[in-house]
């Protein structure tokens, strides 16, 4: 029983949460349209993360946001995006499921991305940089917005937004 309690104490001492600095973190979406490309940046989101502070192995990550906080530097385009998503205050989320090929500097992760009320499993590589208690997690994934039940974006029968979007994230925080 003493050995079991000691093992539990050691295991618990390795768990840590990441106090996410949302002001220095960013989530961006890169889109290609006929004749140009653009980037949307989430100005506000909530991110909770936890993992093993010795190995940097992720154990939990959840991100939630309102699409009204995704800004592309074009007010008209932003308003059209909200209409395309069904109007109101459409929400999105990501929930971590598992990781593999973990090394202290990163690995591969899988999770559930929910957009337009449709949840899909996505997988992507990520990197981790750590200096003392400061940690940065970066990654990117390409999605097809049509798989989330969204219509192909066309304007004036000429301009089309490629359904392949690249989501990039840069999460900064302190390990607690």
Whether 2 is covered by a domain: the verdict is: no
- What's the confidence (pLDDT) of residue 54? 87
The rounded average pLDDT for each run of 10 residues, N- to C-terminus, in the chain (176 residues) is 34 75 97 96 96 89 98 97 97 96 93 98 96 96 98 86 98 96
- What's the confidence (pLDDT) of residue 97? 95
With tokens 């010795």, the residue in question is 54
Structural domain of 97:
16-175
- What's the confidence (pLDDT) of residue 2? 35
| Structural domains in the chain (count) | 1
Whether 4 is covered by a domain: the verdict is: no
- What's the confidence (pLDDT) of residue 8? 31
Q: How far apart are CA 136 and CA 129, in angstroms?
A: 5
- What's the confidence (pLDDT) of residue 157? 73
How many CA atoms, within 13 angstroms, populate the side-chain half-sphere of residue 3?
0
- What's the confidence (pLDDT) of residue 1? 44
Whether 138 is covered by a domain: the verdict is: yes
**53, 59 contact by CB (below 8 A):** no
Question: At 152, which CATH number?
Answer: 2.40.128.110
CB atoms within 10 A of CB 1: 5
Whether 11 is covered by a domain: the verdict is: no
């Amino acid at each position: 029983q003493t050995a079991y309690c000691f093992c539990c104490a050691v295991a618990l001492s390795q768990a840590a949460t990441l106090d996410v600095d949302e002001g220095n973190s960013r989530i961006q979406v890169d889109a290609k349209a006929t004749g140009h490309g653009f980037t949307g940046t989430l100005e506000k989101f909530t991110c909770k993360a936890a993992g093993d502070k010795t190995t940097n192995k992720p154990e939990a990550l959840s991100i939630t946001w309102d699409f009204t906080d995704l800004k592309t530097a074009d007010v008209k385009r932003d308003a059209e995006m909200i209409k395309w998503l069904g109007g109101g205050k459409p929400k999105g989320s990501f929930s971590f499921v598992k990781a593999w090929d973990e090394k202290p500097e990163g690995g591969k992760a899988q999770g559930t991305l929910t957009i337009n009320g449709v949840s899909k499993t996505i997988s992507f590589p990520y990197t981790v940089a750590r200096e003392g208690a400061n940690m940065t997690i970066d990654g990117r994934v390409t999605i097809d917005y049509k798989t989330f039940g969204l219509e192909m974006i066309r304007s004036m029968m000429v301009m089309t937004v490629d359904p392949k979007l690249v989501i990039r994230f840069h999460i900064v925080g302190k390990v607690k």
